[in-house]
Amino acid sequence: MNYPNRPGQPVPDRMISASVDRRREAVRMPCSPLASQWSRAAHLTRCLTRAVSAVFCILSGSFAIAAPPPTSRPAAMVDVSDMVAPDAAGVVDPRRALLFRGVFAHEVTRRLKVPAKEQRAYADRLQTALSEELLGNLSGEFVVLTDRNVNVQALFVYFRAAPSDTWQMIGASPVATGQPGEYDHFITPLGVFEHTPANMDFRSEGTMNENRIRGYGKRDMRIFDLGWAQGERGWGKGGMSQMRFQMHATDPDRLEPLLGIRHSKGCVRIPASLNVFLDHYGILDAEYMALVASGKSLWVLKSDRQMTPWAGRYIVVVDSGRRSRPAWAPAPGTQARAKVPAGADTAD
């Protein structure tokens, strides 16, 4: 979002939509005796059966009520405590981070099957981009890489245990980056961006704008705020100017199906399940956790998160320069495009 509305600030361009649907069901079990004497016994038998069933339902309902309330963490989240536990010497083998491939595959619903050759090519692009920023020896932490190319539109999570190792892909998902051609639309900037509490993250309110679009996605999605960046204007005569660069979820019903093509105002839109994965395991929270370790309390971090010892802090944006779309990064189909509502491009 180029000009985000932070919590506590007025939201003039959003329309809060709240509705409660209350339905009540009345169960009636007629048990009046029949007039004819010969059917009375059969009727009483049916009534007894229904009465026993009703008692069973009531007891079942009472057990359900007595059950402990669900936690805020989705049931599908993997418990990684054993994966990140130190050994007898108090050391956590960094190569265990590669086990997050399985966690990614289990929890992220929008995934790309990137061929091994392409994974290596993107690992080289990542290393080149990091080296240009004097981060060539970076290791032991997760890094997020995004290809903004119009024919790709993909995000990759990478890791390597040591500087001498090659970067290994953990998983990949489709995204949407900046679509030029309209006012206030930027081309997503290239470079290495540090995720730091100096630009504090916040969470989506789940509210809709005037076009009934939830630009930041459903309620409680995390907005990874990367601060102000120099972006190329995608309207008028072009040129460079400042834009607020963020990575965030998008409307799950109307816009998430469009991931895979450029469709944002400059930010990186990601699937909701990827947002939860990055948030819950602190994939990019190294500097946030440093603040927590110093005694700070950060409301944006959930109490049930599972932090890993390999939390990173960098989001890297490249452009692969592809002139055609690879088979592993398919564009959304005509059915998804046909459902795009009017004004969809006004949401970041």
Which pLDDT does position 72 carry in this prediction?
40
* Claim to verify: residue 97 and residue 242 sit in the same structural domain: yes
The number of distinct structural domains making up the chain is 2
Please calculate the CA angle 162-108-6 and round it to the nearest 5 degrees: 90
Q: Is 314 part of any domain? A: yes
* Claim to verify: residue 134 and residue 168 sit in the same structural domain: yes
Q: Is 22 part of any domain? A: no
Neighbours of 209 (CB within 10 A): 17
**Cα Rg of the chain (Å, integer):** 26
Which pLDDT does position 16 carry in this prediction?
32
Q: Is 123 part of any domain? A: yes
Please calculate the CA angle 14-19-22 and round it to the nearest 5 degrees: 170
Neighbours of 345 (CB within 10 A): 18
Three-class secondary structure of residue 41 per DSSP? helix
Please name the helix (run of DSSP H) or strand (run of DSSP E) that holds residue 116, with its range, or none: helix 116-132
* Claim to verify: residue 178 and residue 42 sit in the same structural domain: no
* Claim to verify: residue 281 and residue 165 sit in the same structural domain: yes
* Claim to verify: residue 156 and residue 51 sit in the same structural domain: no
Which pLDDT does position 345 carry in this prediction?
59
Tokens 């309207």 belong to residue:
235
Cα–Cα distance for residue pair 269/209, rounded to 1 Å:
17
Residues lower than pLDDT 50 in the chain? 2-75
The pairing of strands 186-187 and 168-174 is: unpaired
Q: Is 108 part of any domain? A: yes
Query: Which two three-digit tokens encode residue 219?
Result: 């309620």
Q: What are phi and psi of 244, to 5 degrees?
A: -85, 120
Distance, CA of 72 to chain centre: 15
* Claim to verify: residue 249 and residue 131 sit in the same structural domain: yes
Taking each helix axis from N to C end, the angle separating 100-107 and 272-280, rounded to the nearest 10 degrees, works out to 140
* Claim to verify: residue 219 and residue 279 sit in the same structural domain: yes
Task: For residue 92, give every residue at least 6 positions away whose Cβ sits within 8 Å of its Cβ, in sequence order, or none.
Answer: 84, 85, 86, 309
Please name the helix (run of DSSP H) or strand (run of DSSP E) that holds residue 127, with its range, or none: helix 116-132
Q: Is 5 part of any domain? A: no
State which residues form the domain around 46. 37-66
Three-class secondary structure of residue 275 per DSSP? helix
Which pLDDT does position 334 carry in this prediction?
80
pLDDT in tens, 194-241: 999 999 999 999 998 888 889 999 999 999 999 999 999 999 999 999
Residue 254's nearest CA partner among 311, 337, 168, 140 is 337
Q: Is 8 part of any domain? A: no
**What DSSP character marks residue 251?**
-
Contact yes or no for 307/217 (Cβ under 8 A): no
Q: Is 254 part of any domain? A: yes
Contact yes or no for 215/192 (Cβ under 8 A): no
* Claim to verify: residue 51 and residue 94 sit in the same structural domain: no
Contact yes or no for 158/167 (Cβ under 8 A): yes
Q: Is 26 part of any domain? A: no
The most distant pair of C-alpha atoms in the chain lies apart, rounded to whole Å, by: 96
* Claim to verify: residue 62 and residue 200 sit in the same structural domain: no
Query: Which two three-digit tokens encode residue 134?
Result: 């004097």
Three-class secondary structure of residue 256 per DSSP? helix
* Claim to verify: residue 181 and residue 230 sit in the same structural domain: yes
Please calculate the CA angle 104-252-272 and round it to the nearest 5 degrees: 25
* Claim to verify: residue 54 and residue 170 sit in the same structural domain: no
Task: Give the number of C-alpha atoms closer than 13 A to the C-alpha of residue 62, restricted to the C-beta side.
Answer: 5
pLDDT in tens, 270-312: 999 999 999 999 999 999 999 999 999 999 999 999 999 999 9
Which pLDDT does position 105 carry in this prediction?
97
* Claim to verify: residue 260 and residue 153 sit in the same structural domain: yes
